[in-house]
Amino acid sequence: MDYRTLDITIVTCLKSLKLSRLFSKTRAVVSIVGGSLISRQETPACTYKGNSPAWGYPMRFYLEDSALQQNQLMVVLQIWCTPIFLGGKNQLVGEVYFPAKSLLDNWTKDKQTKEGSNQVVTPSGKHRGFLVFKYDFGHDTIRGSAPDQEGR
Protein backbone atom coordinates (compact mmCIF):
# COMPACT_ATOMS: atom_id res chain seq x y z
CA MET A 1 0.00 0.00 0.00
CA ASP A 2 1.19 3.55 -0.73
CA TYR A 3 1.16 6.36 1.83
CA ARG A 4 1.64 10.11 1.62
CA THR A 5 2.75 12.30 4.51
CA LEU A 6 0.63 15.22 5.65
CA ASP A 7 2.30 17.72 7.97
CA ILE A 8 -0.12 19.96 9.87
CA THR A 9 0.75 22.76 12.26
CA ILE A 10 -2.13 24.34 14.18
CA VAL A 11 -1.21 28.02 14.33
CA THR A 12 -3.97 29.84 16.22
CA CYS A 13 -7.69 30.23 16.73
CA LEU A 14 -8.95 33.69 15.88
CA LYS A 15 -11.91 35.56 17.43
CA SER A 16 -15.01 34.72 19.35
CA LEU A 17 -14.19 31.47 21.17
CA LYS A 18 -14.88 31.80 24.87
CA LEU A 19 -11.83 30.31 26.59
CA SER A 20 -10.86 30.66 30.23
CA ARG A 21 -7.14 31.48 30.16
CA LEU A 22 -6.67 31.42 33.91
CA PHE A 23 -8.46 28.27 34.97
CA SER A 24 -8.02 25.82 32.11
CA LYS A 25 -5.55 24.38 29.65
CA THR A 26 -6.47 24.60 25.98
CA ARG A 27 -5.19 22.13 23.41
CA ALA A 28 -5.93 21.17 19.82
CA VAL A 29 -6.59 17.63 18.64
CA VAL A 30 -6.14 16.60 15.01
CA SER A 31 -7.70 13.38 13.71
CA ILE A 32 -7.67 11.77 10.29
CA VAL A 33 -10.74 9.59 9.85
CA GLY A 34 -11.48 7.18 7.00
CA GLY A 35 -9.64 4.50 5.06
CA SER A 36 -8.25 1.63 7.11
CA LEU A 37 -6.38 3.85 9.60
CA ILE A 38 -7.72 6.28 12.16
CA SER A 39 -5.03 8.57 13.48
CA ARG A 40 -5.20 11.12 16.30
CA GLN A 41 -2.61 13.50 17.75
CA GLU A 42 -2.85 16.40 20.15
CA THR A 43 -0.87 19.52 20.90
CA PRO A 44 0.48 20.51 24.29
CA ALA A 45 -1.44 23.26 26.10
CA CYS A 46 -1.43 26.51 24.16
CA THR A 47 0.18 29.85 24.79
CA TYR A 48 -1.70 33.06 24.04
CA LYS A 49 -1.06 35.85 21.54
CA GLY A 50 -3.39 38.55 22.75
CA ASN A 51 -6.72 36.82 23.32
CA SER A 52 -6.08 34.07 20.77
CA PRO A 53 -4.66 30.66 21.69
CA ALA A 54 -1.53 29.75 19.73
CA TRP A 55 0.13 26.36 19.34
CA GLY A 56 2.69 26.17 16.52
CA TYR A 57 3.05 22.43 17.16
CA PRO A 58 3.92 20.31 14.09
CA MET A 59 2.25 16.92 13.54
CA ARG A 60 2.89 14.32 10.84
CA PHE A 61 0.26 11.93 9.53
CA TYR A 62 0.61 9.08 7.04
CA LEU A 63 -2.39 8.90 4.74
CA GLU A 64 -3.34 6.00 2.50
CA ASP A 65 -2.80 7.50 -0.93
CA SER A 66 -5.69 5.56 -2.55
CA ALA A 67 -8.14 6.65 0.18
CA LEU A 68 -6.86 10.23 -0.14
CA GLN A 69 -7.29 10.27 -3.94
CA GLN A 70 -10.81 8.77 -3.62
CA ASN A 71 -11.84 11.49 -1.13
CA GLN A 72 -12.41 9.01 1.73
CA LEU A 73 -10.40 10.83 4.43
CA MET A 74 -11.65 13.61 6.68
CA VAL A 75 -9.48 15.94 8.73
CA VAL A 76 -11.04 16.85 12.08
CA LEU A 77 -9.49 19.67 14.13
CA GLN A 78 -10.90 20.13 17.63
CA ILE A 79 -10.28 22.65 20.41
CA TRP A 80 -10.54 21.21 23.94
CA CYS A 81 -10.33 22.92 27.34
CA THR A 82 -9.48 21.08 30.53
CA PRO A 83 -10.09 22.83 33.87
CA ILE A 84 -6.98 22.97 36.05
CA PHE A 85 -8.92 22.12 39.21
CA LEU A 86 -9.33 18.53 40.34
CA GLY A 87 -12.36 16.79 38.93
CA GLY A 88 -12.53 19.02 35.87
CA LYS A 89 -13.67 17.27 32.72
CA ASN A 90 -12.46 17.88 29.19
CA GLN A 91 -14.83 20.15 27.31
CA LEU A 92 -15.08 20.41 23.52
CA VAL A 93 -15.04 24.11 22.66
CA GLY A 94 -15.31 23.80 18.89
CA GLU A 95 -14.26 21.86 15.82
CA VAL A 96 -13.49 22.14 12.14
CA TYR A 97 -13.75 19.31 9.63
CA PHE A 98 -13.11 19.00 5.91
CA PRO A 99 -11.97 16.42 3.32
CA ALA A 100 -8.21 15.81 3.22
CA LYS A 101 -8.47 15.77 -0.58
CA SER A 102 -9.42 19.46 -0.56
CA LEU A 103 -6.05 20.20 1.03
CA LEU A 104 -4.25 18.00 -1.50
CA ASP A 105 -6.03 19.64 -4.44
CA ASN A 106 -5.04 23.11 -3.22
CA TRP A 107 -1.46 22.01 -2.45
CA THR A 108 -0.95 20.34 -5.86
CA LYS A 109 -1.09 23.71 -7.64
CA ASP A 110 2.46 24.69 -6.62
CA LYS A 111 3.53 22.07 -4.04
CA GLN A 112 4.45 24.62 -1.38
CA THR A 113 3.48 24.81 2.30
CA LYS A 114 0.02 26.35 2.50
CA GLU A 115 -1.90 28.17 5.18
CA GLY A 116 -5.57 27.40 5.64
CA SER A 117 -8.34 28.58 7.89
CA ASN A 118 -11.78 27.20 8.54
CA GLN A 119 -14.66 28.43 10.64
CA VAL A 120 -14.96 26.79 14.07
CA VAL A 121 -18.33 25.26 14.93
CA THR A 122 -19.24 24.98 18.62
CA PRO A 123 -21.02 21.91 20.07
CA SER A 124 -24.26 23.95 19.95
CA GLY A 125 -23.79 24.52 16.20
CA LYS A 126 -22.78 28.18 16.34
CA HIS A 127 -19.94 29.52 14.20
CA ARG A 128 -17.24 31.10 16.37
CA GLY A 129 -13.97 32.33 14.95
CA PHE A 130 -11.47 30.65 12.66
CA LEU A 131 -8.85 27.98 13.20
CA VAL A 132 -5.65 28.80 11.29
CA PHE A 133 -3.24 26.02 10.29
CA LYS A 134 -0.35 25.32 7.95
CA TYR A 135 -0.03 22.13 5.95
CA ASP A 136 2.28 20.40 3.52
CA PHE A 137 2.22 17.04 1.78
CA GLY A 138 5.18 14.79 1.05
CA HIS A 139 6.21 15.09 -2.60
CA ASP A 140 6.50 11.31 -3.00
CA THR A 141 4.45 8.39 -1.78
CA ILE A 142 5.89 5.79 0.62
CA ARG A 143 5.40 2.15 -0.34
CA GLY A 144 4.83 -0.48 2.35
CA SER A 145 3.13 -0.51 5.73
CA ALA A 146 2.15 2.69 7.51
CA PRO A 147 4.88 4.15 9.71
CA ASP A 148 4.20 5.03 13.33
CA GLN A 149 1.53 7.77 13.56
CA GLU A 150 2.81 9.42 16.77
CA GLY A 151 3.45 13.17 16.91
CA ARG A 152 6.91 14.52 16.18
Q: Which long-range contacts (CB under 8 A, 24 or more apart) does 108-116 make?
A: 111/137, 111/139, 112/136, 115/11
Q: How far apart are the C-alpha atoms of 22 and 85, rounded to whole Å?
A: 11
Question: How confident is the model over 80-101, as pLDDT tens digits?
Answer: 988 777 667 888 989 999 999 9
Positive or negative: CA dihedral 151, 47, 114, 72? positive
Three-state DSSP at 75 gives: strand
Q: Which pTM value belongs to this model?
A: 0.84
Q: Which helix (H) or strand (E) holds 103?
A: helix 100-107
Confidence category of residue 148, pLDDT binned at 50, 70, 90: low
Question: How confident is the model over 20-71, as pLDDT tens digits?
Answer: 555 678 889 999 999 777 899 999 988 877 678 889 999 999 999 999 999 9
